[in-house]
Structure 1
Amino acid sequence: MLKRLFPYAQKHRKYLMLACACVILETVFELVIPTLMADIIDIGVANSDKGYILWKGAQMIICALLALILGIMYARFAATAGQGFGAELRKDEFERVQNFSFANTDHFSTSSLITRLTSDVTILQTAISNGIRPLVRAPVMLLMALFFTFTINPELTMVFVVVTPILACGLFVIVRKVGPLYRLMQASIDQINTVVQENLNAIRVVKSYVREGYEEEKFKKMNIALRDNSEHAFRTSVWNMPLFQYVMYTTIICILFFGGQMIFEGVMKVGELTGFLSYVMQILNSLMMISAVFLMLTRSIASCERIIEVLDEVPDIHDPQNKDLIVNSGDITFHHVYFKYKTTAKEYVLSNIDMHIPAGSTIGILGGTGSAKTSLVQLIPRLYDVSEGEVLIDGHNVKEYSIEHLRDSVGMVLQKNVLFSGTIRENLLWGNEHATDEDIDWACHVASVDEFIHQFPKGYETDLGQGGVNVSGGQKQRLCIARALLKHPKVLILDDSTSAVDTATEANIREGLATLKETTKLIIAQRVSSIQHADQIIILDDGHINAIGTHDELLKNNSIYQDIYYSQMEGAGL
C-alpha cells in the first residue's frame, strides 16, 4: 500500500538518503560509548590509570558530540524530505480532484476530500519526518547491540531468545486491533468537518432561524463520536508501552541475576556487566522504537488507503486524442439524448431530448421545479456526459473537443452564484486573465455592473470578502454574468441568473445580451418576462421536451406555458 506513494519522495531522495546516513552514523557513535565506558571501569579504574581514564573520557565526549551533530543534521534532512513529500502528494491529489467530473466528485463528500488533502497527507509526511529515525536507527542499533552483547557474553545474550517472541506476539495483537480503529477515527474527522463546513456556509440561515442550539447539539454528537473513536484507538495503542516496560524490567532483572552469579564465579567482570546492561537498554529501546514504527505505519496505512482512493478515482470524462477541433459558431444539436446521474438509477433524468439550436440564437428554457433544466444545459460543456445519444456543437460531438477548449467556448453562469475572496477585478479576470480595462468595462456595461460599481470608493479594486459577502445577491449575479462575458464565449448559458435583479435591470441586461449576435444564448428562467423575447422557448416537463416555439405560439397552443404565464400575470396584478 505505502509503496504506491514512494514515487512522491523521488524528488527528495537525496535528503532521505542523507537523513538515513546521519541516523546510521549517529547510532554507531552512540553504540561505541558503552564499550569505552567498560574500558574505563575494567582498565582505567582497576589500574588507577588517570591518563587512560581521561583519554577514554575524551573519546566518549567526542562520540557524543558527533552523535549530537548528526542528530541535528538528520532532523533538517528528514524535515525537508517529509515536507517535500507532503507537498508533492498534496499537489497531485489536488490536481486529480480538479480533473474530476461532477459524477466523480459525487463519490466523495467535500469535507472528506478536504480531510484527505490536509489531515491524511499531514499524517504521512509526519511519518516520514519523524519515522526515518526509528525506522533506520532501530534495526541498526538492534543488530550492532546484539553483536556487542554477544562478544561480551554469548550465554547471557540468550535471554533475548525468550524475550523477542513475547514482544512480537504482543505487538501483532495490538497492531491488528488498532488498524481498523484508526480508519474509523479518520472517518469521524470527515463527519465533524462536514458539520463545521455546512454550519459556516449556512451561518446566516442558522442565525435567522435561531438554530444555534440545534447546530451545537449536532456538533456535540459528532465531537463526542470523534472523541470516543480516538480514545478507543489510543487506549488500544498505549498497551504497547506497558508491555515493553514489563518485558524490559523483567529482562534487566534476569540479566542482573545471571550476570551477578557470573561475576561471583569470576566468569564476568563488573565493567563487562555494566557495558552489557547499556547494550541491553539499547536493544530494548530499539525494540520499543520498532513497535512505535509499526503503530505509526498502521495509522499511516489508514490515511494512505483514503488518499489512494482519490488518486485511483478514474475521471469518467476524458479528452479526445485529437484536440485540434475548434468551436466556430456555437450551433447546438441534441440527438436523442438520455441522461441519468448514476448508471444504477432506474429512471432517466432526461429522456429523448431531440432538438436543434441555431448559432447566434437566443433560447429560453422554462419548466417547473425538477423538470431537469439545469441537467440539460450541463451536458453542453460536459460537466456531465450523456448516458445515451449525443450532443453536437457545430456538427461535432462535444466529446471530440478538448475539455479545456470546450469549456472555454461555453460561458456558464450557474444557478448558485460563486465569487471568490479578492477584489472585483480579480473575480472578473477569472473569465479572462488577459482582459484589458476596456474589455472589463464592456462586460460590466452589458451585465449592468456599471450601475453600481462606481458606488464603491475603490471601484474594481473593492474587496468582496469571502464568497462575495460585501455585495448583494443581485450585484453578485451581475458580476458573475460579466465574468462569463469576458470569455467571449460562442455559447452563453444563464441558469436562472437574473432572479435576484429587478425587472428594469433585467431588461437592460437582456438588451445588452441582444447585441451579442455571434453568441448562442440559452437562458433558464422562472419568469416568463425573462425569456418571452427569445427566438425559441423550450418547455421541459419531467425531463421531456413538452413543446418548442415562440412566445406567441406557446401562449396560444401550450397549456403548461399558459398556466405559467397567466399565473405570473395575475400575481403581478396585470
Structure 2
Amino acid sequence: MLKLFRYLKPYSWLLVATVALLFLQSLSDLYLPTLMSDIVDKGIVQKDTGYIWSTGGWMLLIAFGGTICSVIAMYLSSRIAIGYGRDLRGKVFHHVGKFTLREFDSVGTASLITRTTNDVQQMQQVLIMMLRMMISAPIMGIGGLIMAYNRDHVLTWILAISLPVMGLTIWFIASKGMPYFKIMQKRIDKLNLVLREFLVGIRVVRAFNRDEHETERFTSANWELTDTGIRVNKLMAFFMPAMMLIMQFTVIAVTWFAAKRIDIGEMLVGDMMAFVQYVFQIMFSFLMASFMFVMIPRAQASAVRINEVLAMEPEFDDPASPKTAKGQKGYVEFTDVSFRYPGAEQAVLSGISFKAEPGEVTAIIGGTGSGKSTLIQLIPRFYDVENGRVLVDGVDVREMTQETLRQKIGFVPQKAVLFTGTAADNIRFGKEDATDEEIRNAAATAQALDFIQEMEQGFDSPISQGGSNLSGGQKQRLSIARALVRKPEIYIFDDSFSALDYKTDARLRAALRNETGEATVLIVAQRVSTVVDADRIIVLEDGRIAGMGTHKELLTTCGVYREIVASQLSEEEIA
C-alpha cells in the first residue's frame, strides 16, 4: 500500500498544512481538560467567580480555534483524498491502455473495471481516514498520556493494563478480518463479471430463454458477496462493544481509585476530572487508530490488486531505436510466421509466408478456427509472432513504434464496435480532424449514407452504447466508414461484410475498389462471392496455407478451396 502513496507527491504542501492544523487542533483538545481542572480547583472550590469567567472565556476561545483548525483540516484532507483517487484512477487507466491483448486476457475485463473503480475507492476512503485520524490519534494518545501522568502519575498504572488489552483486541479483529476483505474483492470481481455478461448478452439470454439460469448465476454471486459481507460485519459488530466495554471499565477503575486518593487528600477533584477526560482522549485515540486497523486490511487487499496491474509490464513495447519505412508504402509481407496463444499446446499459425502489395486485394478464406482473424491481428501488432517476421513497408513491425504502425492501418474488426455519441462522432473516431465532407464520402462508400440520412437527425443522430439502436449490418457499415475516412495505406477487413446482404456486399466492394486506390487491402471473409474478384486468395487450413492464387487458379490447384466453393455456389455459378 505504501507504494501507492508515492502518488501523493503533488499534494505535499496540502499534507503539511493538514498535519499542522490537526496538530493545533489536538493541542487545543489537550489543553481544555487542564483549564477545566483549574476552574474546579481554583474557581469553584475557592469561590472565585472572576477566575471562572476568565478561564471559561479562554476555554471558549481555544475550543473555537480548535474547531476552525478541524474544519479546514477536514476540507484539505478531502481535497487530497479525492485528488489522489482521481490521479490513481488515471494512472491505472493509462497503464492499462498500454497493455497488449495478452495482458487483457490474463487479468480479465471485469477485474480491471473493479480495480480501477472499487479498489481505488477503497484507497481513497482509507486515505481520508488516515489524514483525519491517524495524524491526530498519536498526538492525542501520547499527549494525553503525558498530561495524565502530570496530573497523577499513580493512576497511570490503570492505563498500563487497559491499553494493551485494547491493542490485543484490535489486533485480533484485524487479523480475522484481513482474509475476508481479500475474498470480498474477488467476489465483487465475480459479481461484476456475471452482471456484465448478462447485460452484454441480454439478446442471447432472452433468445434462448435463459433468464432463469442467469438469474441463478447472479443470485449465487450476489449471495456469496453478501455472505462474506455478513461475516465481516459480524466481526465488526463485536468490535465497538468490546472497545466501549474496555473504555468504561477503565473509567470506572480510574474513578474508584481517584475517589480513594481524594478521600485521603492526595488528589484534587479537578485533577480527577481532568484525568478522566485525558483517559477518554487516550482511549478515543486508540479507538480512532483501531478504525484504521479495521479499514487498512481491506485497503491493503485493494492496494495489492492495483499494484498487480501497475506492476504488469506489457508483453512488448516500442523499440528504443525505431526504424522508419524503407520500402513501398502499404507493402505487407509475412515470412515463415508461426504463432500460438499463451498456454496453448498447438500453434494457431505455422509457416505462413505471403506478400500483399499496394493496389492489390488479398483475401483470406478458410474454415472456422483456421487462423484467419489471428493472422491479420499480427499486422497491427495486437500480438507478437512466435517465429518469423511480419514486415510493413519493408520493416519488421517489432522495430516500429506502435503509433507509427497503426497510423498506416484502417482496421475493421470482426465484431463491429461503436461508441456512445453521434453517427458523425463514430466515423470521426478514425480521423479526429475529418471534415463533414470526408465523413459524408466515407459513409457513402461504406453504403451507410442512406440509413444515416433516414435517421431523425442524420449524422447528428445519437448512437447508443455498443450501437444497440442499430442493426448488425448498419453497425458494420459505420465501422467500415470509420476505417475509410482515415485513408490509410493498409485496409484490413476482418470478416466485416458478414452481416450485409449480397446486394449491399456487391455494391460496397465495387465502391471500395474506387476508394482504396493504391492502398493494400486485406479481406478475411467466409463468402466466396466476397473474395472471388481478389487479386490473391490465401486459403488457410489448420493454421497453414493450403493454397494461394486467384479464384480460377485455386479451383484447379486447391482441393480445400474447391470444397468451400462447392458448399456455397451452384455448378452453374462455379462454371
Alignment check: 8 A CA contact 1:409 1:487 kept: no
Alignment check: 8 A CA contact 2:22 2:69 kept: yes
Secondary structure, aligned partner of 2:89? helix
Q: In the alignment, which residue of structure 2 is the partner of 1:108? A: 107
Q: In the alignment, which residue of structure 1 is the partner of 2:504? A: 505
- After TM superposition, list the pairs within 5 Å mapping 1:116-515 onto structure 2: 116-323=115-322, 325-326=324-325, 329-342=329-342, 344-515=343-514
Alignment check: 8 A CA contact 2:493 2:524 kept: yes
Q: Deviations over 1:144-163 (max 9, x none)?
A: 11111111111111212222
Alignment check: 8 A CA contact 1:13 1:81 kept: no
Structure 2 letter corresponding to 1:339: F
Note if 1:70 corresponds to 2:69: yes
Separation (CA, whole Å) in 2 of partners of 1:171 and 1:247: 12
Secondary structure, aligned partner of 2:522? strand
Secondary structure, aligned partner of 1:132? helix
- Unaligned segments of structure 2, at least 5 residues: none
Offset of residue 389 of structure 1: 1.2
Separation (CA, whole Å) in 1 of partners of 2:58 and 2:81: 34
Q: In the alignment, which residue of structure 2 is the partner of 1:9? A: 8
Structure 2 letter corresponding to 1:58: G
Secondary structure, aligned partner of 2:486? coil
Separation (CA, whole Å) in 2 of partners of 1:317 and 1:512: 37
Alignment check: 8 A CA contact 1:174 1:236 kept: yes
Separation (CA, whole Å) in 2 of partners of 1:236 and 1:204: 42
Separation (CA, whole Å) in 2 of partners of 1:195 and 1:181: 21
Offset of residue 6 of structure 1: 1.8
Alignment check: 8 A CA contact 1:329 1:360 kept: no
Note if 1:551 corresponds to 2:551: yes
Q: Deviations over 1:469-515 (max 9, x none)?
A: 22211111111011011111111110110111111111111112212
Tell me the TM-score normalized by structure 2: 0.97
Alignment check: 8 A CA contact 2:534 2:550 kept: yes
Separation (CA, whole Å) in 1 of partners of 2:451 and 2:408: 28
Pair 1:197–1:74, CA change in 2 (3 A): same
- After TM superposition, list the pairs within 5 Å mapping 1:34-49 onto structure 2: 34-49=33-48
Q: Deviations over 1:53-93 (max 9, x none)?
A: 11111111112211221121111101100011001100010
Separation (CA, whole Å) in 1 of partners of 2:210 and 2:345: 37
Tell me the TM-score normalized by structure 1: 0.97
Offset of residue 406 of structure 1: 0.6
Offset of residue 233 of structure 1: 2.1
Q: In the alignment, which residue of structure 1 is the partner of 2:520? A: 520
Structure 1 letter corresponding to 2:194: V
Alignment check: 8 A CA contact 2:330 2:393 kept: yes
Pair 1:14–1:379, CA change in 2 (3 A): same
Alignment check: 8 A CA contact 1:325 1:402 kept: no
Offset of residue 324 of structure 1: 5.7
Q: In the alignment, which residue of structure 2 is the partner of 1:533? A: 533
Offset of residue 364 of structure 1: 0.8
Offset of residue 130 of structure 1: 2.7
Structure 1 letter corresponding to 2:51: Y
Q: Deviations over 1:315-355 (max 9, x none)?
A: 0121012346148511111111110111x432111111122
Offset of residue 239 of structure 1: 3.1
Secondary structure, aligned partner of 2:135? helix
Structure 2 letter corresponding to 1:315: P
Structure 1 letter corresponding to 2:390: V
Alignment check: 8 A CA contact 1:142 1:282 kept: yes
Structure 1 letter corresponding to 2:469: N
Q: In the alignment, which residue of structure 2 is the partner of 1:28? A: 27
Structure 2 letter corresponding to 1:514: R
Alignment check: 8 A CA contact 1:175 1:237 kept: no
Offset of residue 570 of structure 1: 4.1
Q: Deviations over 1:387-436 (max 9, x none)?
A: 11111112210111110111121111001101111100111111001111
Pair 1:545–1:285, CA change in 2 (3 A): same
Q: Deviations over 1:452-485 (max 9, x none)?
A: 2221232111111221122211111111011011
Offset of residue 218 of structure 1: 1.1
Separation (CA, whole Å) in 2 of partners of 1:295 and 1:457: 55
Q: Deviations over 1:492-544 (max 9, x none)?
A: 11011011111111111111221222211111111000001000101111111
Separation (CA, whole Å) in 2 of partners of 1:539 and 1:162: 82
Structure 1 letter corresponding to 2:203: R
Secondary structure, aligned partner of 1:107? helix
Separation (CA, whole Å) in 2 of partners of 1:315 and 1:78: 35
Alignment check: 8 A CA contact 2:423 2:452 kept: no
Structure 2 letter corresponding to 1:23: L
Alignment check: 8 A CA contact 1:340 1:348 kept: yes
Which has the higher mean CA deviation after the structures are superposed, 382-391 or 234-243?
234-243
Offset of residue 241 of structure 1: 1.9
Which has the higher mean CA deviation after the structures are superposed, 321-330 or 487-496?
321-330
Structure 1 letter corresponding to 2:315: D
Which has the higher mean CA deviation after the structures are superposed, 311-320 or 162-171?
162-171
Structure 1 letter corresponding to 2:97: Q
Separation (CA, whole Å) in 1 of partners of 2:208 and 2:16: 58
Structure 2 letter corresponding to 1:424: A
- Quote the sequence identity (%): 38
Structure 2 letter corresponding to 1:251: T
Count of aligned residue pairs for this structure pair: 572
Structure 2 letter corresponding to 1:38: S
Q: Deviations over 1:247-271 (max 9, x none)?
A: 2122112111211110111000111
Separation (CA, whole Å) in 2 of partners of 1:209 and 1:149: 73
Note if 1:562 corresponds to 2:559: no
Secondary structure, aligned partner of 1:356? strand
Secondary structure, aligned partner of 2:30? helix
Structure 2 letter corresponding to 1:467: G
Structure 1 letter corresponding to 2:440: D
Alignment check: 8 A CA contact 2:359 2:517 kept: yes
Structure 1 letter corresponding to 2:554: L
Structure 1 letter corresponding to 2:564: I
Which has the higher mean CA deviation after the structures are superposed, 391-400 or 355-364?
355-364
Alignment check: 8 A CA contact 1:382 1:403 kept: yes
Q: In the alignment, which residue of structure 2 is the partner of 1:85? A: 84
Secondary structure, aligned partner of 2:444? helix
Q: In the alignment, which residue of structure 1 is the partner of 2:96? A: 97
Secondary structure, aligned partner of 1:158? helix
Separation (CA, whole Å) in 2 of partners of 1:553 and 1:572: 18
Structure 2 letter corresponding to 1:93: V
